[in-house]
Amino acid sequence: MKNMVAEKIRLERLKQNLSQQNMADELGITAAAYSNLERGVSDITISRLFEVSRILKKTPQWFIDEVSSSTDLFESSFVESGMKHDLLILQNEMEFMKHQLAHLQFQLTKK
């Protein structure tokens, strides 16, 4: 799942004609660290997802929901390759992240 979120971030960044260096500067990290996020080498935290979302003018949920839709498209190939269990784990992780995101958004609106 993290690679799918990372790919959504990469595609949206390219769509908006931003470089990895632009993103890294906005996030206050090195270009190499940003590249690791975008390639799925490093895990993206909820707070980092919020920052990326702000820069790309998308909601954090947009990145997660798009992954959910993509997961359905690939479900048959996962099952065929004997990875159904992995798919279920990833779907559970995604649901957990959605709940965390909703909770954090609620906390932000209270401030």
Report pLDDT for 76. 47
Give the residue, 80 or 41, on which the prediction is more confident.
Answer: 41
Q: Is the pLDDT of residue 79 over 70?
A: no
DSSP state of 57: T
Helix runs in 1-111, H state only: 2-15, 20-27, 31-38, 46-56, 60-80, 84-110
Q: What is the mean pLDDT of residues 95-103?
A: 88
Residue 108 to residues 13, 18, 36, 47, 103, Cα–Cα distance (Å)? 25, 27, 28, 12, 9
CATH architecture assigned to 2-110:
Orthogonal Bundle (1.10)
Report pLDDT for 55. 96
pLDDT tens digit sequence for 85-94: 667 777 888 8
The per-residue b/e assignment along 41-61, b for 16 or more CB within 10 angstroms, e otherwise, is: ebebeeebbbbbbebbebebb
pLDDT tens digit sequence for 14-64: 999 999 999 999 999 999 999 999 988 998 888 899 999 999 999 888 888
